[in-house]
Amino acid sequence: MSAREALVDAVAACLRGRLAEAAVFDAPPVRSTVPYAVVDEPVIGPWGTKSWVGYEARVAVGLWDEGERPVRLRAMLGEVEEAVAGLPPDMAGGWRVARVELVRSRLARGASDRWLARAEFVAWVWRADS
């Protein structure tokens, strides 16, 4: 399993445990009712040494909702920020999380009565058996 797959799976599983009202996807859904969350594909770069393999990964979570005011979406964005920042250290495939930090988050009005929130994180991951 790649670091990319392990990170997306770990973030999605973490969010499924925290976002009771929203479906969580690892790719934009073709059809879904709001609210829902999408874990974007991470952008990764090397972060390691000669003796172990590691990556710096930037991963974003998008949230969609609708309504006159984004009250529910604000609460869900806070849940996402807390959940991902507290990602458990062990992931699938022998990958481990060294640290996760929130880079930025934003909430904006979309088309019609839709709202979009986005939280971006940087995670440093390494392979335990490398």
Q: Parse the chain into domains and list their residue ranges.
A: 3-127
Alpha carbon distance 88, 100 (integer Å): 10
In the predicted model, what is the mean pLDDT of residues 108-119? 92
Q: How far is 29 from 102, CA to CA, in rounded Å?
A: 25
67-94 tens-digit pLDDT? 999 999 999 999 999 999 999 999 999 9
Question: Which pLDDT does position 128 carry in this prediction?
Answer: 66
Q: Please tell me what DSSP assigns to residue 40.
A: P
Q: How far apart are CA 38 and CA 40, in angstroms?
A: 6
**Closest alpha carbon to 57 in 2, 130, 116, 113:** 2
Single-letter residue type at 118: R
pLDDT at 113: 85
Q: Could you give the dihedral angle defined by the CA atoms of residues 120, 105, 74 and 79, in that order, rounded to the nearest 10 degrees? A: 40
The CATH code for residues 3-127 is: 3.30.2000.30
Tokens 């529910």 belong to residue: 72
Tens digits of per-residue pLDDT, 27-64? 999 988 999 999 999 999 999 888 889 999 999 999 99
pLDDT at residue 111, as a whole number: 81
pLDDT at 129 over 80: no
Please say if the pLDDT value at position 6 is more than 90: yes
Supply the pLDDT for residue 60: 98
